[in-house]
Structure 1
Amino acid sequence: MPYAAVNGIELHYRIDGDRHGHAPWIVLSNSLGSDMSMWTPQVAALSKQFRVLRYDTRGHGHSEAPKGPYTIEQLSGDVLGLMDTLKIATANFCGLSMGGLTGVALAARHANRFERVMLCNTAARIGSPEVWVPRAERARKEGMLTLSEAVLPRWFTGEFIARQPLMFSVIRDVFVHTDKEGYASNCEAIDAADLRPEAPGIKLPALVISGTHDLAATPAQGKELAAAIPGARYVELDASHISNIEQAETFTKTILDFLTEQQ
């Protein structure tokens, strides 16, 4: 498995498509409690036209989980450091939930490194201390298995869980094996990040995707984010929080259309 030494830690990453070709790059950033495998439904289609870089956010998957708390500056800095290590000058960026928040920071602060951004099931301010402080504490004290029972049913609609039990079990397996300290430290990074003042400064082409049934990053929050970014496009899918899996085909087409349209 490929690793890169970035900002004092080892980040696990994977590249699909012709790494040494000339296709544009796209970076995919995972949600809290998942890993790069969440993007499996999109990789085959994207890699036909792009060089696809996936990575496990610090504290997740096979990346290191240093002692926290983490910050949005670290999460966005990890992306830039990974791009630097791989000699990627510019890329497109697609992040979901926590990954989308990372994308807001990158688009607002490092626009010269990105072409287009897709901010999915996210907001410039996700949740509140009333959500994140007890969530982090519960992860540390009770562990991820207990926490999964409260969190995962909110990720998908009941219809999807009933229709795709195997997919749900795979996602649950990733969640329960996420490092509990890494998870809690990322909760603290999300809690400390309020990027609402910075969103209006984003000048990149931006697509905001929400899920109609999302309780974690609501459609109202998605619309607020899209309205704050000049010229941003808003699309709402019939899904809950992990829309790229629940509505995989529509999600993939939506981002590909956005990426390949004539500028």
Structure 2
Amino acid sequence: MPMLQTSRQPFHIAIDGPDSAPALLMAHPLGASLDVWAPQVAGLARYFRVIRYDARGHGASPVPEQATADAAREGVGALGLDALAIIDALGLERVHWCGLSMGGMAGQWLLAYAPQRLNRVVLANTAASTGAASAWDERLQTLKTAGVAGLIDGVMARWFTPGFAAAHPDTVAGVRDLVLRTKPDGYAACAMALAGMDLQQVIRGATPPTLVIAGAHDAGTTPEQARFIAGQLADARLLMLEAAHLSNVEQAATFTQAISDFLSG
């Protein structure tokens, strides 16, 4: 898996599928890495050039020295600009986009401010607003005092339904380990970029065809928030899955087939 040098910073990426296939850029949730998309790679790489990347300070992507300043100045735009830098560095004019949670928030920023770089878009388990910035203070304080380990139990409780966790303990344990490997300062920088985010008005009327995926049992980014996003966009459809927040893992086969069908038009 190579490191890609961009105009903003190096990013760790993985590319699967034919070079000649339509490009699909995949963006992961806060606290995860590109490995969270493992259930989708084999199915999607048959039809697409699947490009996964570790967000700043996640996985093997470094935490830039200016990460905190960028987050304070640019907000969620920092993540959107990172994505554009990756698209540019790969020499791509347009891409399909699939983002979950934080990745879906970056995708909404792109819908609002760079729709000409997008073909079709998947926004999974995400929201157009994260509420008041102060609501993130407790999470950021826990990071300072206990690191990502201080957050992990709450994250796992939100990401999976109890039934799935009981039936698939090894899968949940693998995701838990993935989150625990996240750099605390990388997690904090991206959390600061999301704190107080509000894209509710700027996405209104965005035209790229979009599939909005929601988890029926997602307490973090709720079905109501997914319906709101779909209602704001000019060409959107909504898919509800029997899952909590990490629907691409909990309903892996259904998720993969749905986005493959949608992106294929």
State the AA in 2 paired with 1:2.
P
How many residues align? The count is 259
2:261 equivalent to 1:257: yes
Whether contact under 8 Å (2:131, 2:196) holds in the other structure is no
Where does structure 1 lack aligned partners over 5 or more consecutive residues? Answer: none
Matches within 5 A, 1:75-114: 75-114=79-118
TM-score normalised per structure 1: 0.95
User: CA RMSD, aligned part only?
Assistant: 1.2
Matches within 5 A, 1:175-254: 175-254=179-258
Secondary structure of the residue aligned to 1:199 is coil
Residue 26 of structure 2 is aligned with which of 18, 25, 28?
Answer: 28
Whether contact under 8 Å (1:14, 1:54) holds in the other structure is yes
Partner of 2:141: 137
Instruction: Return structure 1 stretches of 4+ with deviation > 6 angstroms.
Output: none
Whether contact under 8 Å (2:130, 2:196) holds in the other structure is no
State the AA in 1 paired with 2:178.
V
2:10 equivalent to 1:10: yes
2-side partners of 1:230 and 1:8: how far apart? 31
Q: Deviations over 1:37-76 (max 9, x none)?
A: 1111111111101100000011210001134152212211
Q: Deviations over 1:179-215 (max 9, x none)?
A: 1111112111111321011111311101100000001
Give the fraction of aligned pairs with identical amino acids, expressed as a percent: 39
Deviates more, 1:241-250 or 1:77-86: 77-86
State the AA in 2 paired with 1:252.
T
Deviates more, 1:178-187 or 1:241-250: 178-187
2:57 equivalent to 1:53: no
Where does structure 2 lack aligned partners over 5 or more consecutive residues? Answer: none
Cα distance, 1:231 vs structure 2: 2.4
2-side partners of 1:213 and 1:131: how far apart? 22
Whether contact under 8 Å (1:68, 1:182) holds in the other structure is no
2-side partners of 1:213 and 1:156: how far apart? 9
Partner of 1:159: 163
1-side partners of 2:118 and 2:234: how far apart? 16
2:74 equivalent to 1:43: no
1:128 and 1:163, CA in 2 relative to 1: closer, same or farther beyond 3 A? farther
Cα distance, 1:8 vs structure 2: 3.6
Whether contact under 8 Å (1:137, 1:184) holds in the other structure is no
